[in-house]
């Protein structure tokens, strides 16, 4: 998932931020978890919600609307 160069870069960022070195294996695990988190958070807004329309969530039986003005 991550290249060795990206993991090494993460190691450097971690060490500068926390003043403590991190192993390559731990940096790989943390880096992959960070990517997974961004993958979950950075998703497109469903079109009806983006247009301010109500959408039905059949799984939970509730409605979602865009309440921003």
Answer whether residue 69 is part of any domain. Answer: no
Q: State the total domains in the chain.
A: 1
Can you give the residue range of the structural domain that contains 8?
Answer: 4-64
Tell me the β-bridge partners of 55.
64
pTM metric for this prediction:
0.60
Residue 48: inside a domain: yes
In a domain, 8, yes or no: yes
Q: CA quadruple 49, 52, 55, 60: dihedral positive or negative?
A: positive
Per-residue pLDDT tens for 7-51?
A: 999 999 999 999 999 999 999 999 999 999 998 888 777 776 666
């Amino acid at each position: 998932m991550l290249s060795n160069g990206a993991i090494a870069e993460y190691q450097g960022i971690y060490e500068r931020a926390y003043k403590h070195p991190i192993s390559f294996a731990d940096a790989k695990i943390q880096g992959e978890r960070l990517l997974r988190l961004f993958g979950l958070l950075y998703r497109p807004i469903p079109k009806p919600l983006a247009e301010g329309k109500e959408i039905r969530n059949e799984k939970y039986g509730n409605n979602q609307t865009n309440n921003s003005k």
